[in-house]
Amino acid sequence: MKITTNYDGSSIEIINNNKELNIVELSLKKENKKYSHYYNFKVENEKKEKGTILIKNIDSSPYYSKESVYLPYIKKPQSEWKKIASKTVSILKDRLEIKIEPEESMEISLVPRYTQNELNEFIRTIKSESKIKIEEDILTKIEFGEKSAPTILVIGRQHPGETLSSFFIEGMIKAALSNQGNLKKYHFIFFPLVNVTGVQKGNHRYTNNVDYNRSWNKKDSPKEIKYLKEQIKLNEIKYFIDVHNDEVTSKDYIRTDLNIDKKQIANIQILKDVTKFRRFIRALVKEGKIIKLKDKTAREYIKKKCKCKSILLELSMKEDYQKVEKKGFEFILELLGGNNEK
């Protein structure tokens, strides 16, 4: 079998290719001395017999749990992404075993790949809207609405392997463009792919051993974060929305300082904000990782700097990617069209 990894968004290491037995051993890559969670590669079984893919070190990821061993997505030529059939996958202690049919080719990914190419394709579908301004500088910036109105700033993919957030943001953009009232009432700025280098390399959380979402108060923060910090100085931020995927939870959730009476927005549960110390304990217990208390996240930094309302969105990695865009569409309309902010 032939394994291909030399393209944007790919991430896997090839350990051994036993052509005689038609078995390929792969491994998750390491980031910041820990195994990644995200993986993506293409496989071509040229033989007239079944092949076997073994992805090792699944249980060595800091995000691993029995509940978070997700069936991967596959994409065959000229087809859409879909969950792989469970009968072709075996979940062993430290690996995934995937059976590949004879003379079959496909792309295999923890979650559907979404890179700058996919973002550019989406932009082409909305570019005809005269009200949209697209800037390609350090980051791709999508801007529209009433320039003098309060700004809604949305970012995604600080953690590059959290690709579902990009599909969610596509839905948010489509919904915002569809509502004339909100276009007159707000100024929208979207940065759909923040960690450009990490997205290109197929990283999961770290790029050059840096967690972008924990670097906002650092002088040596990545150039993309420095660029965003300059951007927020140019606008009156009313809402800041940071979209992520949660590798552990089975349900989507929102954490916010908005004073609203609802228990959910677009069927996404709203949870109480937690202190940084509680986040530290939760990360240590659930994920075995240490969050440095002095590091500021995007939400913490921008809330303090802009004195704005903020929302952290965490999409479960169990979420069906085909439903995520619709959720993003419903979320922004419900948030702005019928929220009961006090």
Q: What is the pLDDT of residues 8-59, one digit of tens each?
A: 999 999 999 999 999 999 999 999 999 999 999 999 999 999 999 999 999 9
Return the higher-pLDDT residue of 81 and 318: 81
Dihedral over Cα of 230, 184, 258, 213: its sign: negative
What average pLDDT does range 133-155 have in this prediction? 95
Residue 291 tokens read as 């969050």
What average pLDDT does range 144-162 have in this prediction? 96
What gap in Å lies between CA 262 and CA 182, rounded to an integer? Answer: 20
Q: Which sequence spans correspond to the domains of the chain?
A: 2-109, 116-337
What gap in Å lies between CA 324 and CA 166, rounded to an integer? Answer: 9
Residue 201 tokens read as 């390399």
**CB atoms near residue 277 (< 10 Å):** 10
Residues 39, 110 contacting (CB under 8 angstroms): yes
Residue 153 tokens read as 């700033």
2-109 domain in CATH 2.60.40.3120? Answer: yes
Q: Cα 78–71–100 angle (5° rounding)?
A: 55
**Pairing verdict, β 309-316 and 40-44:** unpaired
Answer whether residue 238 shows pLDDT above 50.
yes
pLDDT computed for residue 65 by the predictor: 77
What gap in Å lies between CA 66 and CA 86, rounded to an integer? Answer: 16
Residue 78 tokens read as 């000229």
Number of continuous H segments (helices) and E segments (strands) in the chain = 8, 21
Quick: pLDDT tens for 94-125: 899 999 999 999 999 999 999 999 999 999 99
Question: Which residue, 324, 282, 305, is CA-closest to 271?
Answer: 282
Question: Which residue, 107, 85, 93, is CA-closest to 3?
Answer: 107
Domain 116-337: which topology? Aminopeptidase (3.40.630)
pLDDT computed for residue 285 by the predictor: 56
